[in-house]
Amino acid sequence: MQEDTKSDVYRRFWNELKRRTKSPLTDLTFIFYVFFGVLVFGGLGVWIEVVKTYIPGQSGDMQGIRTALSVFYPALIGAASLQLVLESVRKSETLMSVFAVSALLIMIIAAILLGLIEFFQSSATLVFWASCALSVLGIWVWVVTNADNPDLKTKPNPENASGGDVSRKLKGDVTGFQE
């Protein structure tokens, strides 16, 4: 049996990332879960700060939105990355584990750097837009991680047994078998 070349391994990894990015976005159950579970409920702290900032009579400001975004993406990327590491180790997918750990490290470094920038009040605009970009990255990492999650699929798994009504009389006989 011929051993895969590095380019074959990288091509398969790239194709797997593309598949995990595109395929779940055609499934309505998955899309609803991303929208409601991740964006609405997961980002509830961000939405509360947006409402506080932009509804007249409320006492919010952009610092609250930046803070909410700064805690949204680390939680999302961290949880999704750890889940992907566990799944990849179980399936012996080394490059997917490396991808997950890389996303986790990028998030940790970004969170520290953006936290320092926010603390020293160097560039609020940079913190805001970088947190937005990292939140989008976090949603993508979550999608890649959960692309094969059967609980988020509308269609039944074709590998599941299907043979019709279980109460019907089966063909054949059991002559010769003892109970």
Q: Is residue 154 part of a domain?
A: no
Give 149-160 pLDDT, tens digit per residue.
Answer: 888 888 665 656
Q: Is residue 174 part of a domain?
A: no
- Domain that residue 100 falls in: 7-148
Q: Is residue 166 part of a domain?
A: no
Q: Is residue 122 part of a domain?
A: yes
Backbone angles phi, psi at 98, to 5 degrees: -65, -40
64-80 as b/e: b if 16+ CB within 10 A: bbbbbbbebbbebbbeb
pLDDT of residue 1: 43
Q: Is residue 61 part of a domain?
A: yes
Q: Is residue 161 part of a domain?
A: no
Q: Is residue 171 part of a domain?
A: no
Full-model pTM: 0.76
Give 63-78 pLDDT, tens digit per residue.
Answer: 888 889 989 999 999 9
pLDDT of residue 12: 87
pLDDT of residue 139: 94
The total number of structural domains that make up the chain: 1
Q: Which residues of the chain have pLDDT under 50?
A: 1
